Amino acid sequence: QVQLVQSGAEVRKPGASVKVSCKTSGYTFTGYFIHWVRQAPGQGLEWMGWISPSGGATKYAQKFQGRVTMTSDTSINTAYMELSRLTSDDTAVYYCAKYSGSLYFDYWGQGTLVTVSS
């Protein structure tokens, strides 16, 4: 069965960076984009961007341009999302989601809480 398992909670100081992993199984990793979405406390979900594991092409939401880097390692079927220059506004649960290929997300990770605090 398809599974996306994310790395554990992280705490960072303002100005630092964080890298969240999303280990996939149960499907052909290189066949489907991985998207990243976040949800800040008390707010709705916010789309951050995607990566194509087969080649590494990426697209980022304008809000995160210059601060986010999405990568993948096809040898271990894992996608990564790194966010730099963190502020308290980046405190959120970050999710990876497998793109179905037809404009919806068919599987999600369990989420990774990133807390930014001095």
Partner 1 sequence: QSALTQPASVSGSPGQSITISCTGASSDVGGYNYVSWYQHHPGKAPKLMIYDVSRRPSGVSDRFSGSKSGNTASLTISGLQAEDEADYFCSSYTSNGLDWVFGGGTKLTVL
Interface with partner 1 (CB under 8 A)? 4, 35, 37, 43-47, 50, 59, 61-62, 95, 97, 100, 102-111
Q: What would the two tokens of residue 49 be? A: 């961007």
Q: Give the CA distances from residue 33 to residues 11, 21, 27, 36, 84, in Å, rounded to whole numbers and listed in that order.
A: 27, 15, 12, 10, 22
Q: Least CB distance from residue 12 to partner 1, whole Å? A: 21
Q: How many residues does the chain have?
A: 118
Q: Which is nearer to partner 1, 17 or 100 (CB)?
A: 100
Q: Least CB distance from residue 13 to partner 1, whole Å? A: 25
Phi (first) and psi of residue 31, to 5 degrees: -90, -10
Q: Least CB distance from residue 15 to partner 1, whole Å? A: 26
